[in-house]
Copies of this chain bind each other. A is one copy, B any other.
Amino acid sequence: MSYNLLKGKKGIIFGALDEKSIAWRTALRCHEEGAQLVLSNAPVALRMGQINKLAEAVNAPVIGADVTNMDDLKKLFEETMKHFSGGIDFILHSIGMSVNMRKNKGYTELDYSFNQKTLDISAVSLHRILRTAWDMDALNEHASVIALTYIAAQRVFPDYSEMADAKALMEGITRSFGYHYALKKKVRINTVSQSPTRTTAGSGVKGFDGFITYAEKMSPLGNATSDQCADYCVTLFSDLTRMVTMQNLFHDGGFSFTGVTEAVINQMEK
């Protein structure tokens, strides 16, 4: 079903790995709603993933870019603007990777050079993308940028480890750059803080199963799915939300404002 909410709009989707990815589902929904797309991911992810399948489905070119490399980003934006014959209306940043978690290093035993890499890939990358766009004047007036985040940026979820700090940094960048880009070109920048989601990336987090069950029991509407997240992103990319900026928007079935539920209390009494 389509409302044509994004008819005529042009966007870049970062981070579609496979069909479970939120970025993948969002690309499909944006396409349904009439948008033209460019897909981007890290060169290594392009090799591992099945992004060409998505590219075909949404009729979009795939342009690889290491988001920690300014030359790559410049090339990506140049090719994108050439492809669109003009500026960009929206961007989805769905990028995150914890090097320490991959190496099984817990929060109190971080390797700091890995940590620096985690922060660069997962958080500073948002600044790098926006700054590339800024320098090239690549975003159209009223463009909308969304970065996906997680509530671990506000409260501790111990297995989320250094990624929590990275998300806190990324949310800071969202506000800071959001201020400047609003003044310059009425661009809005927000984060969407999504329920834990069974993506290929999410599943890598230790204790993920116990946690997703907990989140389900703690969310009055249950956990939000990837497809529902895609729907929400569509509204935020549309012209109907032009005055929403610098916000962290929880898309989580009410988890964020629920202190406890009867379901959890019952479990506690077992």
What is the interface of chain A, defined by CB distance below 8 A to chain B?
3-5, 70, 107-110, 112, 115-116, 119-120, 124, 127-128, 131, 134, 151-158, 161-162, 164-165, 167-169, 171-173, 175-180, 182-183, 186, 188, 195, 207, 210-211, 213-214, 217, 220-221, 224-225, 228-229, 231-232, 234-235, 238-247, 249-254, 256-262, 264-270
Check A245 against B220 for contact (C-beta < 8 Å).
yes
Contacts of A241 in B (CB 8 A): 231-232, 235
Check A260 against B211 for contact (C-beta < 8 Å).
yes
**Known A-B contacts A156-B179, A214-B268, A220-B178; A247 and B240 likewise in contact (beta carbons under 8 Å):** no
**Known A-B contacts A127-B110, A178-B254; A243 and B232 likewise in contact (beta carbons under 8 Å):** yes
Contacts of A265 in B (CB 8 A): 207, 210-211, 214
Check B256 against A251 for contact (C-beta < 8 Å).
no
Check B238 against A244 for contact (C-beta < 8 Å).
no
Check B172 against A260 for contact (C-beta < 8 Å).
no
Contacts of A134 in B (CB 8 A): 108
**Known A-B contacts A107-B176, A165-B176; A253 and B210 likewise in contact (beta carbons under 8 Å):** no
For the complex formed, measure the closest distance between the CB of A224 and the CB atoms of chain B, giving whole angstroms.
4
Measured CA separation A116–B264 after assembly (Å): 31
- Contact residue among B70, B169, B243 (Cβ-Cβ distance under 8 Å from A195): B243
Measured CA separation A249–B116 after assembly (Å): 27
Check A180 against B158 for contact (C-beta < 8 Å).
yes
Contacts of A220 in B (CB 8 A): 156, 178-179, 182-183, 245-246
Check B242 against A228 for contact (C-beta < 8 Å).
yes
A-B contact pairs, 17 of them (CB 8 A): A108-B177, A112-B124, A154-B257, A156-B178, A156-B220, A165-B172, A168-B171, A169-B169, A182-B253, A207-B265, A214-B268, A217-B268, A221-B245, A228-B242, A244-B249, A244-B250, A249-B249
